[in-house]
Chains A and B, each alone.
Chain A
Amino acid sequence: MKVPVLRLSGLGKRFGSNTIFSGVDLDVLPGDRIAILGASGSGKSTLLRCINFLEHPDEGRIEVGGQLIGHVTGPNGPAVVRYDERELNQLRQRIGMVFQQFNLFPHMTAIANVMEGLVTVRRLAKPEARSKALEQLSRVGLADKADAYPAHLSGGQKQRVAIARALAMEPEILLFDEPTSSLDPALVGEVLGVIEALANEGRTMLLVTHEIGFAYHMATRVVFIANGGIYESGTPDEVLKSPKRALTQQFVADHRRFQF
């Protein structure tokens, strides 16, 4: 049996007294493509952000490649996991993230955005970083925009640069946080096309999305989040074609209303 590249056990997150989710267990095997669906505010983005520790989970454990992140303290009483900044910086290099709002660095050209991690974090020499970055930009079809600043790119192009920036670090896992939600409908296709190509390469990815049709075609597994946890999960057919539980059925029905 394959070792999970990512394992969440009993993961929970609160903001103040407000529990976002709790008791989330999830095993991600190499090559898995997991679509995380759920209503707005269900905590699916927060769950994704906990995986690369942009938010620190309040309970539970995260293992990456079979290794527990952080260390457990408190032999007496409830075990608490403490995290070390340096370890998290190392970890984040192995987990790429693509944001809804792209978050490109506006003061850098497209290629400088992609090079930034290679130069500042990986300490590669500039020429080497540049050629690697150009490779990634070509992969997303934007080699000709290498020297353009983000302000001169369309939303779809920005998001493709952001994907190239994540890919440049050669991550083991890719996280997509609603990557097309702030795009014009006309620009969604080019970004989904890039994500699909990455899926076809067999990359491990978790994708929070509202593009339910894309999730159906691309994912190996669908996880539906509701009521502060994983409400229903299974193959795309199981969850999206014949959902078993009420909220999932409602969600799918709502999203299919206007499909033709």
Chain B
Amino acid sequence: MTYRWNFASVFDNWQALAMGLAGTLKLSIVCLILGLSLGLLVGFGRRARRAPIRWLSTAFVEFFRNTPVLIQILWFYFALPMIAPIEVSPFLAAVLGITLNAAAYSSEIYRGGIQSIEPGQTEAARAIGMSGLQTLRRIVIPQAVRRILPALTNRGIEIVKTSTLASVVAYVELMQQGKLIASLNFNPIEAYTVVGVMFMLLLYPFVRATYAIERRLARSD
């Protein structure tokens, strides 16, 4: 028995795929920016001088790191409107679930990166009169980013792929559109294959870009 691949039925729906691509891009970019920035804050929170900030940050990380994103998205979509007087769109539910999860994971990466910078670096910066904030911005973070870039790249890729989970609340992105095409044309194998390849094509240039940044940052070695 030979299977007859029928990609034409997928490509006929290129407009639906284009809409999905737009949705994936929008969701991914928002989650990348919010998730990785919030992660930096939480990472610092775990090193805060005040104990309550440390506890809160740790609780945040452990809660969102140890619950499935899929359930978080469902929960934000269905349960949140029942306990708070807000309307939650599929987009918002997905952003909340993915962002908070990404923040929890990336905060650990940031924390490790910041901890790995020798105390002598901070001391040297403070000794020429730099403030704590200036020291972070000019001395600690640039060096930490260099060390954590590969790990952060991994996280970024993961965030983009996790955006497929937004299909569970029918947010229009690539996975959702793939499902739609598959259910209309009975061609799930082809539809999901195309969606998978589209992710590959989307992410590979992104990865190449981070390699280029790594090379640029390695100039001082």
Q: Which A residues fall within an 8 A CB radius of B?
A: 52, 54, 85-86, 89-90, 92-93, 95-97, 99, 101, 103-109, 116-117, 120-121, 149-151, 162, 165-166, 169
Contact = CB atoms under 8 A, between A and B. Distances in A.
A93 B129 contact: yes
Contacts of B138: 116, 120
Chain B interface residue bracket vs A: 20 to 34
A90 B129 contact: yes
A86 B134 CA distance: 12
Contacts, number: 76
Given A92-B128, A99-B124, 8 more contacts: A95-B127, A99-B120, A101-B118, A103-B121, A105-B125, A105-B143, A149-B221, A165-B128
B85 interface: no
Contacts of A85: 131-132
B219 A149 contact: yes
B129 A121 contact: yes
A120 B131 CA distance: 10
B161 interface: no
Contact of B220 (A92, A107, A165): A107
Q: Quick one: which of B128, B129, B130, B143 has the most chain A CB within 10 A?
A: B128
A54 B127 contact: yes
Given A54-B123, A92-B126, A103-B123, A108 B131 contact: no
Contacts of A109: 220
A92 B127 contact: yes
Contacts of B129: 89-90, 92-93, 117, 121, 169
B139 interface: yes
Given A54-B123, A149-B220, A149-B221, A105 B130 contact: no
21 contacts: A52-B127, A54-B126, A85-B131, A90-B129, A92-B127, A99-B123, A99-B127, A103-B123, A105-B124, A105-B139, A105-B143, A107-B142, A107-B146, A107-B220, A117-B130, A150-B220, A151-B220, A151-B221, A162-B124, A169-B128, A169-B129
